[in-house]
Amino acid sequence: NAGVMQNPRHLVRRRGQEARLRCSPMKGHSHVYWYRQLPEEGLKFMVYLQKENIIDESGMPKERFSAEFPKEGPSILRIQQVVRGDSAAYFCASSPDTPSYEQYFGPGTRLTVT
Amino acid sequence: DAKTTQPNSMESNEEEPVHLPCNHSTISGTDYIHWYRQLPSQGPEYVIHGLTSNVNNRMASLAIAEDRKSSTLILHRATLRDAAVYYCILRVSGYSTLTFGKGTMLLVSP
């Protein structure tokens, strides 16, 4: 059973461009979580999604950030008009159909904004 | 959110036991205690969780104080691969999201 997959692993964008981060959860998992880790800081929760639904987006910045988890395909975290402060590692986690004690994390996407 | 307090860093020698403490004096009766760790340049990894009783698994043991205001993660024999940041997290029952603090950076020397 493959683990949580994220791509790309590294992404470089210029200020003002769009960044799209993809997350494929583990097989059979329908809960996806996105976290952000700024340099020298801890992980911060951003958004929690189930298939086609956003359950909790309390950690998402109000502007420029959006997330989706369509019925088919990976979950996407989209950042429009990136700024240097968006440079961070973005981690995706998944858990099984029922709320689980464990979240399984992917290797992360490291976004660098130049 | 209930908060946890952990030492910033701890050191250990290889093959010795390690006891990582966590204080959570404001824990509520239905909060679960979770431990995750993050190796350098990797995503976090689940270690163990518990509610009231001590727990053991292949990675570690979790000792929970009787009043639940503190807990200790025990690595029975530290290896160099255990060098990581260890996070103690309280997860509210019925909620899935995790709130990470700064964690404890564990350094393991040969």
Q: What is the pLDDT of residue A28?
A: 86
Residue A98, φ and ψ in degrees, nearest 5: -95, 145
User: What residues are paired with A33 via a beta bridge?
Assistant: A48, A93
Count of pairs with CB atoms under 8 A, one residue in A, one in B? 53
Q: What is the pLDDT of residue A100?
A: 63
> Rounded to whole angstroms, how far apart are CA atoms B49 and B98?
12
pLDDT category, B1, cuts 50, 70, 90? low
Bin A85: left if φ > 0, else alpha if -120 < ψ < 50, else beta: alpha
Among A103, A109, A110, the strongest candidate for a mutation testing the B interface, having the largest count of B CBs within 10 A, is A103
Q: What is the pLDDT of residue B97?
A: 84
**Residue B28, pLDDT above cutoff 80:** yes
**Going by DSSP bridges, is the β-strand pair A53-56/B55-56 parallel, antiparallel, or unpaired?**
unpaired
SS3 assignment, position B68: coil
> Token digits for A88?
């961070």
- Mean pLDDT within B58-70: 95
Maximum C-alpha span of chain B = 42
Model pLDDT for residues A53-67, shown as the tens digit of each residue: 999 999 999 999 999
> Token digits for A89?
């590692």
Question: What average pLDDT does chain B have?
Answer: 93
User: What residues are paired with A49 via a beta bridge?
Assistant: A32, A54
Beta strands in chain B (DSSP E): 9-13, 18-23, 32-38, 45-50, 55-56, 61-64, 70-75, 84-91, 104-109
Q: Do B43 and A56 touch (CB under 8 A)?
A: no
pLDDT category, B29, cuts 50, 70, 90? confident
User: Does the beta carbon of A25 lie under 8 angstroms from any beta carbon of chain B?
Assistant: no
pLDDT category, B54, cuts 50, 70, 90? very high
User: Does the beta carbon of B46 lie under 8 angstroms from any beta carbon of chain A?
Assistant: yes
> Rounded to whole angstroms, how far apart are CA atoms A91 and A38?
11
Work out the percent of chain B whose per-residue pLDDT is above 90: 81
> Rounded to whole angstroms, how far apart are CA atoms B100 and A22?
22
Q: Do A102 and B87 touch (CB under 8 A)?
A: no
Which regions in chain A score pLDDT beneath 70? 1, 97-100
Model pLDDT for residues B69-104, shown as the tens digit of each residue: 999 999 999 999 999 999 999 988 777 788 899 999
Other residues' Cβ atoms within 10 Å of the Cβ of residue B73: 25
Q: Give A-chain residues touching B49 at CB under 8 angstroms.
A: 101-102
Q: Do A108 and B43 touch (CB under 8 A)?
A: yes
User: Does the beta carbon of B105 lie under 8 angstroms from any beta carbon of chain A?
Assistant: no
pLDDT category, B55, cuts 50, 70, 90? very high
> Token digits for A22?
């993809």
Helix, strand, coil percentages (3-state) for chain A, rounded to 5, are 5, 50, 45
Maximum C-alpha span of chain A = 40
